[in-house]
A and B are shown apart, each in its own frame.
Chain A
Amino acid sequence: MPRNGSITTRLIALLTLCAAVIIGIGMLVDYRLSRNEILERLQRESRDTVRSVVIDMENWLEGVEGATLLLSRIVQQREYSEAGLKQMLRDAVEVNADIFGASIALAPGQAGTDLGFAPYYFRRDGKLAYASLAGADHNYQEEAWFTDAVAAGQPLWVEPYFDEAGGKVLMTTFAVPVYRQDAMGKRFLYAVVTADVALAELHNYLQRLGLGASGFGILLSRNGIFLSTRDPANIMQHYSRAAAAAPDQATWQEMFNAALEGQVITRQVACIDVPGNCVIRLGSLASTGWPVGVVYSEHELTSPLREFQLKTGVTGLLTLLLMALAVIVVSRRLTRPLGALALATRRIAQGDLEAPLPKAQGSDEVAGLIDSFAAMKQDLKSYIADLEAAAARRSRLEGELGAAREIQMAMLPQGGEASELQDAYSLWARVLPARSVGGDLYYYHRSDRMLVVAVGDVSDKGVPAALFMARAISLIQQLAASTIDPAAAMASLNTALETGNENCMFVTLFLGVLDLDSLELRFSSAGHTTPSLARNAAVTPVAQQQGPALGLAPGLAFPCNSLQLQAGDRLAIFTDGIDEAFNDQDQMFGVDRFNEALLNSLARPGSIAGAEIFDVLARFAGGTPQSDDISLLLLDIANGKTASTRMRSDFTRGPGLTGRVQAWLNQVLAPLALPGQVLGDLMLVTEEIVSNIDKYAGLAAQASIALAVEVDARQLVIEVRDEGTEFNPLVQARRAHLGSATEEASIGGLGVHLITSLTERQSYRREQGCNILRVTKLLGNQPV
């Protein structure tokens, strides 16, 4: 079945509607024209029929009148014996077939007897019969036909009557009074000559006016008596008494009167003899003045018209049906490939590029569409293949870059984020490359009472910068072991980096050597961003003389600067990725904002403060992607209060591991007199870390886990090292979904939640085959 709204459905609906409208209009016009034509024909026919019948009747009646008048003229002018009159009368009736019967009735006193003389010849069963109208019981001189004619003094048609004396039929009579003159010249009535016409004859004439099954002729006398109508019961009745005519009395009256005056009138009335409305057309006979007309049912007469309508309607419907069928067939043929195409397209969209398309037939638009789809499918295939290849290349490249990032981070002390607590100082550093790999570096190295720190920034970023950075940091490592003079070390670095540097890459570098006894920092800057110094709750830029960037020209000299540090100082060395970071309004972070962030975080230990500064920077940048590598190194000089200690112990795996670890922890932490809550948290965190390693690190049975505690006045760091398989519990460990009802609660995956909830900071790195997890717990009531 065609679906709702499909092309097939729409075509059928649309075309059928159009055709219906066109055919409908055609039929309407045709109907209008045909209807008028048919109606006109019907009217003409009825008029013609009536006219011809009337003419026939007129001829007939005139024939009767003529014969009677001739007879009366003869009787007037010539003398006959009674036998002679009889013979003449007989001949006249015999010759005129139209006359039913005729009589010559002599006036009183003209006949030989008192009874008078009135011979009457009439037709009975096809023969002539004779009757005498003069009898003892019957005075013809009192009959209407006699008295009326005498009264009129001229020929007239007598009102119809039933002839008792003669033919014993319903008849009407044409009566002619015959006058003679006596010797004195005085005119006297001699006789009345009559001719009878049987109403049955008239009736026969009129019934020729067959207009449809229920049409018929009517004839009335001048007094309104029906001489002929369809129902014999109404003959000889006055029209007003004919039952069905009753409701239309007025109309009948009007028509009758009009007809008497010689008009031809047409009216619609209730039918007399048949049900329904009839049209009556009434005129009058010229000779007798009798109203004559036809009655016919218009409904019946127009039945051919209705038949015609019906035929046209049926034809129209059939045409519509055929056309709808044709549309279905044609549109199915047209749309079948479209349906198949839609199906195939859906499969293609779901990824099935092998889905077969329907065969294109011919060269129509659908075939064109299918061809286009086939081409599109082909293009899509090759495009997807290209895309897959590109994706594979990209993921390989990403894999390589990921590995490169790990290698690069491993070149930095503690793998890109370093935290160290020592008795005389504490240090925290982090590099955040803008891309997978970058050109920023930090470095520190302590040999005895000397601490070398370096922060550098290679020009450009990405892979080229990373490779140059690798070269630079290797050289720095080599030099740092023996460096006491940063300016000389800078010059050596420059010479080494300048060699074979065809791409003119360069490094800006801060290189400092801190004497841990005198706290004098001697440093040299190769075009590097000026460090900031936080001292006594104020941040100032470090005064310095700068040298040029490294790697651009051979044989350069670098000024050496000196800075006397004090207990409690915090030195911040950073790269321009920080102060030149932009937000989405193109505002630069700037040194001022950096110094403010540094000042605001002064109360927190370096590791927390550093992370906080990075957070401030990230919030400032908002959604703006990091455009340059970012590095920060915070160097805190210990004061009396912040002297730090580091304790360390190894624990062999085996029974009671947790007990041994916690016993040691209790022992080393006892002198600190930590609050019970803090101690409990540390115990719990340590157990979670150690038991996690014990369970999952895949260590040998006799392997050991190294625990170190670094503590100063502000923070306590627990570092746990193991040589197990590489695993970062902060990222890779399963974490149970918290807050589930008993049924759904996960057994296990809880430890890592406790570790991250109970310590302020956690970091993991992999170094020299070891997993190193460091967690920091802040001490005291410092706000974080």
Chain B
Amino acid sequence: MPTGHKASVENMELTTTVAVDEANSVARVALAGALNTDTAPDFELRMQDVLKGGYQLTVLDMKDLDYISSAGLRVIFKAAKQAKAAGLRMAAANRKPHIDKVFEILKALPDMAVFANEKELDDYLDAMQKRAR
């Protein structure tokens, strides 16, 4: 059993970085650390800000997300609902296996686009740009 995740569990903070591609109306929210009961409220505020931007697509980049609990999922559910109601899309990318496992257990958001890696995400973005043109 790999023990590589062990060190990362010890990081109890969450860093959220938002990068916006105004031209394509894509917001990329990168999460690093742990999305748990303690860090979820701040993340929720951050997501609300991003959603206010009204971007066609919001990508949750979980490349550096080590941990997620139901409190964090709750925020994602809520944001996904709001986005869908506003006719916007939300996608997840780069989920680590144990993050994937949590999503799978909860059969969370079966209709949300999920990109296993950067390439899939890039392909999707390219396709989106082509459609836009």
Interface residues in chain A, defined as those with a beta carbon under 8 Å from any beta carbon in chain B: 655-659, 662-663, 666, 673, 675-680, 683-684, 687-688, 691, 694, 736, 738-743, 745-748, 750-751, 753-754, 757-758
Contact = CB atoms under 8 A, between A and B. Distances in A.
B47 to A, nearest CB: 13
A663 B80 contact: no
A751 B1 CA distance: 26
21 contacts: A656-B38, A658-B38, A662-B36, A663-B12, A666-B10, A676-B1, A676-B6, A684-B67, A684-B69, A687-B37, A687-B71, A739-B110, A742-B77, A742-B112, A745-B109, A746-B77, A750-B70, A750-B73, A750-B74, A751-B70, A758-B105
Nearest to A695: B37
B87 interface: no
Nearest to A683: B9
Contacts of B4: 676
A758 B70 CA distance: 13
A742 B2 contact: no
Name which of B69, B80, B102 has the most chain A CB atoms within 10 A of its CB: B69
Contact of B37 (A657, A673, A676, A679): A657
B78 interface: yes
A754 B70 contact: yes
A332 to B, nearest CB: 62
A517 B81 CA distance: 62
B105 A676 contact: no
Interface in B100-120: 102, 105-112
A757 B105 contact: yes
Contacts of A691: 37, 69, 71
B72 to A, nearest CB: 10
Nearest to B81: A742
A221 B85 CA distance: 118
Nearest to A756: B105
| 6 nearest A-B residue pairs (beta carbon) | A675-B1, A676-B5, A739-B107, A750-B70, A738-B107, A691-B37
B74 A738 contact: no
Nearest to A682: B9
B46 interface: no
Given A657-B37, A679-B9, A747-B77, A742 B84 contact: yes
Given A683-B9, A742-B111, A747 B81 contact: yes
A82 B3 CA distance: 178
Residue in A658, A688, A739 with the greatest tally of chain B CB atoms within 10 Å: A658
A652 to B, nearest CB: 15
Interface string B5-23: 1100110100000000000
A562 B80 CA distance: 67
A192 to B, nearest CB: 137
A691 B107 CA distance: 21
Given A683-B9, A687-B36, A754-B69, 18 more contacts: A657-B37, A659-B38, A679-B9, A680-B98, A684-B69, A687-B37, A736-B106, A739-B107, A741-B110, A742-B80, A742-B112, A745-B77, A745-B109, A747-B74, A748-B74, A753-B106, A754-B70, A758-B105
Nearest to A737: B107
A663 B67 CA distance: 14
A751 B108 CA distance: 12
Interface residues of B, number: 34
B38 A680 contact: no
Contacts of A745: 77, 80-81, 108-109
A738 B106 contact: yes
Contacts of A657: 37-38
Nearest to B82: A742
Contacts of B112: 742
A748 B75 CA distance: 9
A750 B67 CA distance: 16
Nearest to A685: B69
A657 B77 CA distance: 23
Given A687-B69, A745-B81, A753-B105, A676 B111 contact: no
A670 to B, nearest CB: 9
Interface in B46-82: 67, 69-71, 73-74, 77-78, 80-81
Contacts of B10: 666
A743 B6 contact: no
B69 A688 contact: yes
Contact of B67 (A683, A738, A739, A758): A683
Contacts of B107: 738-739
A673 B2 CA distance: 11
A63 to B, nearest CB: 128
A101 B53 CA distance: 142
A691 B37 CA distance: 7
A677 B69 contact: no
A687 B70 CA distance: 9
A754 B78 CA distance: 19
Nearest to B75: A747
A684 B37 contact: no
Nearest to B8: A676
B18 to A, nearest CB: 21
Contacts of A659: 12, 36, 38
Contacts of B2: 675-676
A680 B68 CA distance: 10
B37 A754 contact: no
B95 to A, nearest CB: 14
Contacts of A673: 3
A673 B1 CA distance: 11
Contacts of B38: 655-659
Given A684-B69, A687-B36, A754-B70, A676 B9 contact: yes
A748 B74 CA distance: 6
A739 B108 CA distance: 6
Contacts of A680: 5, 9, 67, 98
Contacts of B102: 684, 754
Nearest to B78: A747
Contacts of B80: 742, 745
A666 B37 CA distance: 17
A429 to B, nearest CB: 31
A387 B11 CA distance: 64
Q: Which of A675, A745, A750, A758 has the most CB of B within 10 A?
A: A745
Contacts of A746: 77
Contacts of B1: 675-678
Contacts of A742: 77, 80-81, 84, 109, 111-112
Contacts of A736: 106
Contacts of B3: 673, 675-676
A655 B9 CA distance: 19
B106 A754 contact: yes
Given A677-B98, A691-B71, A742-B81, A750 B106 contact: yes
Contacts of A753: 105-106
B19 to A, nearest CB: 24
A731 to B, nearest CB: 18
Contacts of B71: 687, 691
A743 B77 CA distance: 9
Nearest to B13: A659
Contacts of A658: 12, 36-38, 69
A51 to B, nearest CB: 113
Contacts of A666: 9-10
A290 B5 CA distance: 144
Contacts of B37: 657-658, 687, 691, 694
Contacts of B84: 742-743
Contacts of B77: 742, 745-747
A741 B67 CA distance: 23
Given A657-B37, A683-B67, A743 B81 contact: yes
A656 B84 CA distance: 32
Nearest to A739: B107
A667 to B, nearest CB: 10
A659 B69 CA distance: 12
